[in-house]
């Protein structure tokens, strides 16, 4: 079950779409495509920045990053709602799987994929 903030966000997004008659456009395919586009817009904010610049954004860039990150989150929440799965639970299961794939004693300090060590 969703913790309360996730449940509230899910319901608010659902109502937002229904009020605008957008639910019919929110198929899983369309939401996944929109999510990909928003992730690209988020990445574009960091394009050409140095590592140092990417870690200390000016206020205008930070505001744009926050908006793009929110768009990504909102599409993910909406996708989970449409497919009726608990996004937070799925994230916890994925962390558990990654913990199995990347045992600390074998990967600490390494960026290699789980099938490369």
In a domain, 109, yes or no: no
112, part of any domain = no
Domain, as residue range, for 14: 4-102
CA–CA gap between residue 34 and residue 51 (Å, rounded): 27
**What's the total number of domains in the chain?**
1
In a domain, 78, yes or no: yes
Average pLDDT of the chain, as a whole number: 94
Range 108-114 average pLDDT:
83
Task: Give backbone dihedrals phi and psi of 15, rounded to 5 degrees, phi first.
Answer: -65, -40
> Residue 85: which CATH number?
1.10.287.1080
State the pLDDT at residue 6.
84
Any domain includes 82: yes
User: Is residue 20 over pLDDT 90?
Assistant: yes
Closest by CA to 22, choosing from 87, 86, 75, 73, is 75
User: Contact, 28 vs 113, CB < 8 A?
Assistant: no
108 lies in some domain: no
Q: What is the pLDDT of residue 3?
A: 63
Model pTM greater than 0.75?
yes
Rounded average pLDDT over 83-92 = 96
CA 44 from centre of chain:
16
Cα 23 to the chain's mean position, in Å? 20
Specify if 115 maps to a domain: no
Any domain includes 35: yes
Please give the pLDDT value at position 4.
80
Q: Grade residue 9 by pLDDT with cuts at 50, 70 and 90.
A: very high
Q: What's residue 59's pLDDT?
A: 98
Question: How far is residue 98's CA from residue 70's CA, in Å, rounded to a whole number?
Answer: 25
For residue 116, tell me if it sits in a domain: no
């Amino acid at each position: 079950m969703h913790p309360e903030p996730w449940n509230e966000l899910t319901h608010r997004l659902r109502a937002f779409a229904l009020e605008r008659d957008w639910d019919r456009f929110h198929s899983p395919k369309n939401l996944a495509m929109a999510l990909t586009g928003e992730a690209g817009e988020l990445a574009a904010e960091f394009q050409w920045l140095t590592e140092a610049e990417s870690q200390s954004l000016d206020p205008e860039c930070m505001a744009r990053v926050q908006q793009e990150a929110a768009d990504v989150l909102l599409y993910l929440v909406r996708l989970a709602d449409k497919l009726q799965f608990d996004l937070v639970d799925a994230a916890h299961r994925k962390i558990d799987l990654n913990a199995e794939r990347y045992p600390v004693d074998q990967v600490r300090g390494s960026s290699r994929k789980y099938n490369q060590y």
